[in-house]
């Protein structure tokens, strides 16, 4: 398949490389001039998409996505599929789908879960919104880049699924870190805490698979000095998107709002920037009740 890949950063580059390794003809473009193994380098985004059957974008935010799509759509082949894997606001995803659809293109919004490790290992999960026919066209590519792709419905629903999932993740990680800090102050060992909660009603992905306490449970960023697997600033980005969507939908999300405020303080006012989002635990260790 002829594939164009726009945005070859920490996520996009390994995803594009996996597609090339699987035998697809991949042409890439990134404003920073980066490329990926096995990927032909285009001079411009417009050059990259010429003749492509599928155009994949992995970009930082909705504003950049809108600008890039407006530039490349006139150069895409009618009937091609625009597959956006960025994490952006729902409104931008739907605006892009409308623009591309009017030009006779298939469109999918397909944000991912799994981080840079998942991108490298081809084990990402894709949450996909858009046309069923376009989804079937892209399915073989999802199978190369990831381990699971869930079709969530109409355009924008992939983004909706991603931000709802990550709002839950942000809230549960904070609760997990709070509970470990409380257990410390109550004299309960972290190992005992993990052994109880991981097999009781408090279990969660944050506790069982990504435990924020070093030396407890499976290996996680906590065991590597909280070097990011999923950076706190990326969690803050997703939580802000959740609150933007909640405001637009008139949905009440008090826990999501509280998590957003805590991560904002952690990243912008404290030492959270550049650390894993589970580094909330040492933050709570240092604080006493006001």
Which residues are known catalytic residues? 162
Distance CA 258, CA 175 (A): 11
Quick one: tokens of 256?
Answer: 């999501």
Distance CA 235, CA 264 (A): 10
The set of long-range contacts for 197-205, using a CB threshold of 8 Å and a minimum separation of 24, is: 204/172, 204/176, 205/169, 205/172
Strand 124-130 relative to strand 112-113: parallel, antiparallel, unpaired?
A: antiparallel
Contact (CB, 8 A) for 71 and 98: no
The SS3 call for residue 83 is strand
Contact (CB, 8 A) for 55 and 72: yes
The SS3 call for residue 128 is strand
Distance CA 280, CA 78 (A): 48
């Amino acid at each position: 398949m002829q594939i164009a890949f726009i945005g070859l950063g920490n996520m996009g580059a390994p995803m594009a490389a996996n597609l090339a390794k699987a035998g697809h003809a991949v042409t890439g473009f990134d404003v920073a001039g980066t490329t990926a193994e096995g990927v032909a380098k285009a001079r411009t985004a417009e050059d990259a998409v010429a003749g492509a059957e599928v155009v994949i974008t992995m970009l930082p935010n909705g504003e950049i996505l809108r600008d890039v799509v407006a530039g490349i759509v006139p150069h895409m082949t009618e009937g091609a599929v625009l597959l956006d894997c960025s994490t952006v606001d729902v409104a931008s995803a739907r605006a892009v789908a409308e623009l591309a659809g009017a030009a006779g293109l298939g469109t999918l919004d397909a944000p991912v879960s799994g981080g840079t490790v998942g991108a490298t290992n081809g084990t990402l999960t894709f949450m996909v919104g858009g046309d069923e026919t376009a989804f079937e066209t892209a399915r073989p590519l999802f199978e190369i880049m990831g381990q699971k792709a869930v079709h969530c419905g109409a355009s924008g629903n992939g983004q909706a699924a991603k931000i709802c999932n990550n709002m839950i993740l942000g809230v549960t990680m904070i609760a997990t870190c709070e509970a470990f800090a409380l257990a410390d102050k109550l004299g309960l060992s972290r190992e005992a805490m993990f052994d109880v909660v991981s097999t009781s009603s408090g279990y969660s992905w944050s506790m069982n698979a990504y435990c924020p306490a070093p030396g407890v449970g499976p290996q996680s960023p906590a065991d590597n000095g909280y070097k990011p697997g999923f950076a706190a600033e990326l969690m803050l980005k997703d939580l802000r998107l959740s609150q933007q969507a909640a405001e637009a939908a008139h949905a009440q999300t008090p826990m999501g709002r509280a998590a957003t405020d805590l991560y904002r303080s952690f990243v912008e006012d404290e030492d959270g920037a550049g650390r894993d989002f589970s580094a909330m635990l040492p933050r709570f260790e240092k604080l006493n009740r006001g």
